[in-house]
Amino acid sequence: MLLAALPALAGFAALLASARSAFAADTATNIAQVSIRDYKFTPALLTVKVGTTVRWINHERRTTHSVLFTGPGGFESERFFPDESWQRRFDQPGRYPYSCGPHPEMSGLVVVTP
């Protein structure tokens, strides 16, 4: 009787291993969000670990925004409209100051730790 159950147990073990792999893949994707509302980045200071993707989401009603990195090697995202988003993955530790291209009074900082 025990020998008859072995194929079923092997199948269950394979299913469990597959589920663990899928779970590990989901938890391995690190995404942090920054909201844009009332001409502010919230949170304005965000600390994340290396490998994290930060997504900026425009929650304004009528205004476009961009994310302009002002440090060395800086660049500006495309402008995104209300309910649109833009994202960037951070693969190096450091401090990444940014502002909004069309609204320089808006500013934020991403701190990336090892």
Answer yes or no: is 20 within a domain.
no
pLDDT digits (tens, 9 = 90+) for 11-63: 444 444 433 333 333 335 699 999 999 999 999 999 999 999 999 999 999 99
What pTM value is reported for the model?
0.74
Of 20, 14, 102, 108, the C-alpha closest to 69 is 108
Q: Which carries the bigger pLDDT value, residue 27 or residue 8? A: 8
Tens digits of residue pLDDT in 71-106:
788 999 999 999 999 999 999 999 999 999 999 999
For residue 84, the domain's CATH number is: 2.60.40.420
Domain count, the chain: 1
In-domain check, residue 10 = no
pLDDT at 61: 94
Torsion, CA 45, CA 41, CA 97, CA 112, rounded to 10: 40
d(CA 98, CA 104): 9
Query: What angle (nearest 5°) sits at the alpha carbon of residue 72, between those of residues 71 and 74?
Result: 65
Q: Would you state the pLDDT for residue 28? A: 55
Q: Contact 45/96 with Cβ under 8 angstroms?
A: no
CA pseudo-torsion sign 9, 10, 11, 13: positive
Range of the domain at 82: 30-113
Distance separating alpha carbons of residues 31 and 51, to the nearest angstrom:
9
> What pLDDT does residue 29 have?
65
